[in-house]
Amino acid sequence: MLKITKKFEYGLIAVRHMALMSDQSVATAKEISQRAKISYELMAKILQRLAKSDIIVSVQGVKGGYRLLKDPSDISLSEIAESIEGPINLTNCQENEDECNCDIYASCAIKRPLTKIKNRFKQIFDESTVEEII
**pLDDT of res. 111:** 77
- pTM listed for this prediction: 0.86
Per-residue pLDDT of the chain (134 residues; tens, 9 = 90+): 678 899 999 999 999 999 999 777 899 999 999 999 999 999 999 999 999 999 999 999 888 999 999 999 999 999 999 999 998 888 777 666 656 666 665 667 777 888 899 899 999 999 999 999 99
Q: Note whether 18 and 68 are within 8 A (CB).
A: yes
Q: What does residue 59 show for φ and ψ, rounded to 5 degrees?
A: -110, 120
Asked if 118 and 89 touch (Cβ cutoff 8 Å), the reply is yes
Instruction: Write down the CATH number for the domain with range 6-133.
Output: 1.10.10.10
The pLDDT value given to residue 107: 65
Q: Give bridge partners of residue 27 from the DSSP assignment.
A: 66
**Rounded to whole angstroms, how far apart are CA atoms 65 and 29?**
7
Per-residue pLDDT, 122: 93
Contact between 17 and 34 (Cβ < 8 Å): no
Output the CA torsion sign for 95, 96, 100, 106. Answer: positive
